[in-house]
Structures are given as C-alpha cells and as structure tokens.
Amino acid sequence: TLRMRVPALLILLVCFRGRAGPSPHFLQQPEDLVVLLGEEARLQCALGAYWGLVQWTKSGLALGGQRDLPGWSRYWISGNAAKGQHDLHIRPVELEDEASYECQATQAGLRSRPAQLHVLVPPEAPQVLGGPSVSLVAGIPANLTCRSRGDARPIPELLWFRDGVRLDGITFHQTLLKEGTPESVESTLTLTPSSHDDGATLVCRARSQALPAGRDTAITLSLQYPPEVTLSAAPHTVQEGEKVTFLCHATAQPPVTGYRWAKGGSPVLGARGPRLEVVADASFLTEPVSCEVSNAVGSANRTTALDVLFGPILQAKPEPVSVDVGEDASFICAWRGNPLPRVTWIRRGGAQVLGSGPTLRLPSVGPEDAGDYVCRAEPGLSGRGGGAAEARLTVNAPPVVTALHSAPAFLRGPARLQCLVFASPAPDAVVWSWDEGFLEAGSRGRFLVETFPAPEGHEGQGPGLISVLHISGTQESDFSRSFNCSARNRLGEGGARASLGRRASASFPEQKNLMRIPGSSDGSSSRGPEEEETGSGEDRGPIVHTDHSDLVLEEEGALQTKDPTNGYYKVRGVSVSLSLGEAPGGGLFLPPTSPLGPPGTPTFYDFNPHLSIVPPCRLYRARAGYLTTPHPQAFTSYIKPTSFGPPDLAPGTPHFPYAAFPTSSHPRLQTHV
C-alpha cells in the first residue's frame, strides 16, 4: 500500500509543476570580451522563468548578490531584474580585471558558460636611441635602434617609415623579465646613408591590436660626409695657347678644409682654392687636370681633360729600311694632333700620293723602288704645326756594273779603263779580268787597279764605286782583247765588258819634267813588240806628262798616294749606263784645262752627245770632286775598309806611268777592295 502511494505522489507533483510554468533558463550568456585599459567592460546575462538570486563570479570568486556589489567599487549589475536582466559592468577596466566571469542563478542551480575578459594596454611612444637628431657618416653602415617599454598588451610591433613609406632592413627582438613577461622590445634599422640623407626624417612606429594606428617617434638624420666635387672647364674646347679657367665646386659636412690641384698626376705648384687658370697646350689633351677637396671626414677627387686643338707634331720619324729584292718594305711615321692629322706618303721629288696613314707598305720591292720616302702631315685648324719627315729605302740586289767610256790610247802609251759599280750590300770584290789574268786590287805587271768612291747621287740614289784599270805601255793585244769588270755580293754577280780604243799617232810631244818608268818585275819589257824592236838596250818606259801629277815618285822608287777622303766613304750605289765623251787628255780622270774660262776654272765633261739628257748631268768635277748621275736607281751601300795603302807592287816591279791631274786637291786612292 505504502509502496503504491509514493509513485502516485510523484506523478501528482510532476503534473502540478507542469501546470505551474516553464523552468528557469538562460536567455543570454556572457561572451568573451576585449577591452582597452581604462575603458568600460559589460558582460551580458539574461534569465527566463527565474525570479530568484543572481550573482557573478570572477575566476570562481562570488562578487555578491546585491546589484551594487558592495566591496567592488568599479563593479555593478545593471538591467531590469523583473525581466531577468543581470549585466555586469566594470569601469574603468584595469589589468586586474582580466579574468574569467560566470553568471549564476543560485536557486535554480544554473551557471553560464565562462566569459574571458581581456584587457588591452596600448603601447607608449617608442624611443629612438640617439634621437631626436642622430649624427651619421655618409657611406658608413649604421644601426638605428627603436625601443618600446611598459606593459603594453599585446607586445607591440615596431616599424620604420620615411616619407610615409615603410622601410626594409629591420631586425626585431625582445627582452624578457624573469617572470617571462617582456620588459622591452627593440627594432633595429640597418642602413648605409648618403649625403642626400642629410636632414631626412625617419619615424619609428609602435602599434598593436590595442592601438592599430600606433604611436610614432620621429628623428632627424645629421650626415657628415666627405666633399662631393664637380669640376668644370671654360671653355672646354680651346685652341692651343688660349686661356682656360677650371672651377672646382664642392659640398661637404663638415666644411671644406683644403683644395689640391694636379695635372697629369703632378701637383700644380701655387694653385690654391676652387679656381685655376692656365694657358692650354697639347699636353692638356693627355694630361688631365684634377681637383682634390678635403674635410675632416675625407676627401674626393674629380678629373677632366681639355679638348685642345693643336697642329700636327712629329712623334716618331720613319727609320731607314734595307731589304732584299722581292721582299716587302714598310715605313712608320707617327704624328700627333687634334683633330687627328692627315698623313700622306710620297716619294721625294714626286707628287703622286703613295699611301695615307702612319704606315706605308711597299710589297715586293725592286731596285727601282729604292730612294727617299716622305711622310707629310697637313697643318691643323690653327694653321700651326705640320711638316714632313723622310727615310731612305735601300734595296739589296746583285751588283750593277757599267763600263764607262774611256779615251783612246797610244800604242806603248798609258791607258785606263773604268767601270761604275752599284751594289747593296757592298760588293765583296771588284775584279778586272782579261785573257791571261785578272786583278782585284794593287798591281800586276803592266796593270794596276784603283777604286774610288762615287759621291752621292741624284734624289737619294746613292753613290757607288768607280774602279779604274791602269795599263802601262799598251801593246797591240790590248786593243783587240776585251776587259771584263765584275763585282759580286751575297745576292749575285754583275759585270760589264770594256775595250780600249787606239789613237792613230804614237808620238808624244816633248815636255819638261819628264820621268821614266822601268819595266815589269818579272823581267819582261813593259813595251810592246814594236818598241822592243826599235828601242835601245836600256830598259825604257814611255815618257808621260808629270806637270800636274798627284803621285810622287820618291828616291826609293815607291809610289805614294794622298787620300783626301780619309778612306772610303759610306756610299750608296746607283744603276746607270754612261758613255763618256772623249775629252782632251783622254779618260774620266784626265780633265784638261777648262776651255770655258781662265786657268783654274773647274773642268766639266759634256755628256750631251751620249746621254741625250736635258739638262746634261755632270759626272765629275775636277776641283769640286763630286760625281752625279743622270737619274740613277739607288740600291746599295759601300762600307769603309779599315785601312788603305799604296799600290801592291812586288819588289823590282817597274814603276807605273800615271797621267797627270790638273790639281792635287783630289789624289786618287789606291787600295784593296
């Protein structure tokens, strides 16, 4: 029975309560809230079907059931309690208010979900170390440090700006207290300033969720930098000899302490200050002017070169060139000038331009290319400078030998044959040969060889050698045989044949100052067959003139020669073909008294009938002593021997009869080739 009553009572109680209304419940529960320090926080709570006691807890601690919350001066509950509104207010919010809060209906046993109150602390204005004016040195890397201190929540972000533009190159770090909370945060900006950064303003900004706009601290950069130099010249383009003014402008911090001027790296003595005046010359084109400016931080240098206009100046003369036939030849001639001079090449005496530029190349040259070559540079715009320089081309070739016309001789009288030799390199030997023998130098029987240098030729076509074969006491066979004059060098050999002409009369006029020349050393007579038949038993040679002889017969009978040239000249040869006209006295070296003037007038040979050249070319001038040729071709040099001496006469050799010279100023030279 009792057991049946208890369930029935429970059923009646439930039914009764169902008729009484709904059970208490939350219409609104508090949410997490973020509030700035010092502002008001409001946590909302609303209950339905509940008219009992409502209280708030802070991190589990009950704040009380009264609406004004005694003991919590900054806390109170607001809202219409009849409507179930129980909002918790906190003002002003402090850091200690950051906690977990719950709204509880104690009589109904209801608890809201916990709501977290977060208190944000805005960052203070950051501090830049060294500010508000930071001194830096241009070009040297520097670090700028921005620091934020205090209890800012959350930890602020430190940023750098210039002219509203965020800067990169920032390093961020923080320093923590022992409790793990940050004591300070720092941001470091690394930069390499330039002089253009002087006076610039940089901003360090501390921002966080508590203060999205952030707080700024500005600094001003004060730059120290070495001088920045600009160098100018007026005028920059100038004629040689005109004045030029250089201006050296510099900006520097700290101020400039000194100027130093240099030209081509060498100091300009006496030059001080930012201004320099000079007189321009060609050296300023290659030796620029520099200005160095200094201050306490450092120095800077600027350089400029003038555009100096000047006429051509010869830098390197062309050098003489010697090449073998068939080889290439080249000359180099260097000129300076601004603008660059125009250089042309011609052959001396000619007008044809052979080339332009500093180098002249002549491919596969021949003897006809030998001569003097001239490089010319035209004057500059100012009309000054310019000129010419020349060098000689020597073409090495086999000797060129030309037999010169010789005067006819009398039977049993003296005679001479002559040849002209041009050779480069110098001939190893010049040899006369005939039927029964040959002779290179000195004497042999009735024969004697002398060699003379031929003076400088026409238009650089240099001198050669004249070889003379003297015959003492001509014989019949001398007029019928051929004599060969040959020369050789390393490139080959050349030769020419000569013959002796005969005079009709064999008589000699009686003269004073006569001398007799004995016969040959081998015992044979120097006279021809006719003389041997008609002559007396005494060994007699032909009688010749000695009035103007340049050979002196000493008591011992030796022949002495005088050498006005002191040996062979260093000479150059020419290639010619000459036919010498017959002149009174006979032979190239027997000039008579000039018929064109009073005694003592130098004698010239007239080659018009033989050379067909207008004007005639003088070959030999007795007193002046030089030889020229009609338009020869130069290609050789002859080297002076180390010694020379009298004819190489064997003991007992009959003395040789010599023809007379009109003057003793140019005695013949007897020597070995």
Residue range 506-544, pLDDT digits in tens: 544 433 333 333 333 333 333 333 333 333 333 333 333
Fold of 25-120: Immunoglobulin-like (2.60.40)
Q: What angle do CA 195, 196, 200 make, to 5 degrees?
A: 110
DSSP, res 96: G
Pairing of strands 387-404, 371-377: antiparallel
Instruction: Reply yes or no on whether the pLDDT at 116 is more than 50.
Output: yes
181: pLDDT confidence band, cut at 50, 70 and 90? Answer: low
Residues 206, 637: Cα–Cα separation, whole Å: 98
- Residue 176: predicted pLDDT: 57
DSSP, res 150: S
Q: Domain 405-499 classified CATH 3.40.30.10?
A: no
Task: Kindly list the domain boundaries of the chain, sorted by start residue.
Answer: 25-120, 122-305, 311-396, 405-499
Residue length of the chain = 673
380: pLDDT confidence band, cut at 50, 70 and 90? Answer: low
- Residue 543: predicted pLDDT: 31
pTM value is 0.44
Contact, 278 vs 243, CB < 8 A? Answer: yes
Q: Domain 122-305 classified CATH 3.40.50.720?
A: no
352: pLDDT confidence band, cut at 50, 70 and 90? Answer: very high
DSSP, res 112: P
Residues 472, 603: Cα–Cα separation, whole Å: 25
Contact, 365 vs 325, CB < 8 A? Answer: yes
Burial of residue 148, with CB atoms counted within 10 A of its CB: 0-12 exposed, 13-18 middle, 19 or more buried: buried
Among 10-19, 271-280, 649-658, the least confident range: 649-658
pLDDT, averaged across the chain: 74
387: pLDDT confidence band, cut at 50, 70 and 90? Answer: confident
Instruction: Reply yes or no on whether the pLDDT at 37 is more than 80.
Output: yes
Q: Do domains 25-120 and 122-305 have the same CATH topology?
A: yes
Pairing of strands 211-234, 492-498: unpaired
Instruction: Reply yes or no on whether the pLDDT at 611 is more than 60.
Output: no
CATH number at 311-396:
2.60.40.10
